[in-house]
Every structure is written in C-alpha cells, then in structure tokens.
Amino acid sequence: MAGLPPGLLIRTGKFVWTTMWRTMMAQMAPASDSGDYQRPTSEFRSWLDADGPYPPEADRYSLMVGLGCPWAHRTLVTRALKGLNNAIGVILVVPSPNEGCWVFETPFQGCRTLPELYRRAKSGYSGRSTVPVLWDGVTNTIVNNESADIIVMLDRACHHLGTNADRVLYPDDLQATIDSWNDRIYTAINNGVYRCGFAQTQTAYDRACAALFDLLDQIDQTLAQQPYLCGETVTLADVRLFTTLFRFDVVYYTLFKCNRRRIQDYAHLGPYLSRLYHLPGVAATCDLEAIKRDYFGNLFPLNPGGIIPAGPDLKL
C-alpha cells in the first residue's frame, strides 16, 4: 500500500468515500433526482379536541424531545410562552451516533429507543422515528409527531391549562399573516438550511442557499419596521423562525455551509434573535452545548471526525 502513487490513493479514497457518503445520505436525507433534500412527511396527525379521543387535560400529555432538534425545540418554546410547564410534561431523548436513532435517557414504556416506541404505537411502522412526539399517557400512544400541529394545539387547545392567559400565539385576526410567513420560512429557512447542508449536487446547494439568504434579507428589512414578524406581538411565526436562527451561527453557518453571513451580522435579525431569547422562559429551553453535540457529534456524513467546535460565543 505504501508504494501506491499519491494520485491513485487520492482517487481511490475519493471514490470509496463518495460512494459511502451517497449511501449514508440516501438513508439520512433522501433527495430528488436533482440532488435536492426532500423531508419526509409526518405520519401521526391526530389532534387534541375536547370532543374527541384526546381531550386537552393537565398531566395527561408529554412532549418527547431532543434538545438539539429545532423542530422539537419549537414545542418547548411554545410550552414555555404559554405557561404550560406544569400541565405538559417533557421526556428527553438523545441521539445515538452509532445506532442512528433517538434513545431514551431511561427506558420508557419498556422501550429503549424511539423507533421501538413508534412500532409499539403503530404495529408494523417503518417510517422515520422523529421528535417531537406528543404522547398521551392515558391511552399510551402517539397523538402527533408534526411540530407545526403540536404548537398550534399547545396554543389553542391547551390555552386554558396555561398560566399565561394573555399570551395568544395564533390569534384569529393574524392567522392568514402567520400562515403566509410560516409557508415561506419553512421552505427557505427552517428546511432551507437542511437543503443546503444535505444537498447532493452543487446546483441543489446553490439554489437552496440563494433562497435562504434572499428571505433572511427580506425578514431583516421587515424587522426594521416592527419588533416581530406580524407586528407588535410575538406569534407562532416567530417561534418557528427562532429555533432555526438560534442554531444558525453555531451550526448551520459552518456545518451546513450557510456561510454567506451570520445572523449576528444583520442589523435587525441579530437584535430580534436576542429579543426572543429573553422572553420569559425561552432561554431555559436553549442548550447550545447539546445542539453542538447533537449536530457535530452525530451527523457522521457531514463531520466524519466527530470533532465538536469550541465556539462561537453567542452574544444574546
């Protein structure tokens, strides 16, 4: 092996690594024929309803979350803003770098991993076992695993269970505006950073990166005129944007190649991020070390060495 020309070593290494990389990426981040990341849809979509099988009741439901996951984080932020900490429990899972799945810190319902619990909730289930999960402790099943649904339920169906009666995050008069922001933010930013990081062609990456920063620039201009996306009050649109922005400079800027500029480089997005972070209860949901550990330590195809960077220090 030592006698092989360096050029042959390089070509062989690139071929082997590229083949392995594409195989792993196909499992972790399915892509279209053009190399664009395609996020699978959530499969558990039941709702909390006073007249349905899952009535909103205190001490009945729990959120299963991983602290590094932005989709799970938005449910924790909503729970905090609504004052639901005493009514809705939290069950933590952590990613296993060797097993490629979420694992319970302590076994739950006889299950060690989240995929085991998914299969227990739905016999024969073969889809992705993701967080967040809204778990019903009475029927011992998964109610919903779509974060966009869960935060609406926490705001509306569980409103009477919270201590912040004046905080409405999805008010009737702003729903159309919130939904419009959510659609754009999900495509270009929430999922957009993943489309950058998981892109499997240069064209797919360029397309995702351009859309990401075009919308960030537009939002920065909007925030020059008002404190929040929909005006003077925080809404679910801000919650959904916040968890991506909080991870941006720490993870997405480097690991996902979203490095055209940092959030703290924007005149208005930086202060906006700080404003949201300092809302009562929000900072307690944020764990930068868990975020860095989960992304840099577990996304092997993007960071084979598993080295976790020391910084940066967010000035919030």
Rounded to whole angstroms, how far apart are CA atoms 194 and 223?
A: 24
Rounded to whole angstroms, how far apart are CA atoms 297 and 122?
A: 30
∠253-259-262 over CA atoms, to 5°?
Answer: 70
**Which of 54, 69, 118, 272 does the annotation list as catalytic?**
69
Question: Which stretches within the chain are classed as H helix?
Answer: 6-28, 70-81, 114-121, 147-155, 175-185, 192-197, 202-223, 236-247, 269-277, 288-298
Closest CA to 247 of 194, 169, 187: 194
**Which of 118, 194, 266, 295 does the annotation list as catalytic?**
194
Neighbours of 278 (CB within 10 A): 10
Rounded to whole angstroms, how far apart are CA atoms 292 and 247?
A: 9
- 158 in catalytic set: no
Place of tokens 């995929």: 115
In Å, how far are 28, 30, 55, 162, 168 from 194, measured between CA atoms? Answer: 11, 11, 35, 33, 30
- 286 in catalytic set: no
Cis peptide bond upstream of 132, omega within 30: yes
Residues marked active site are found at: 69, 194
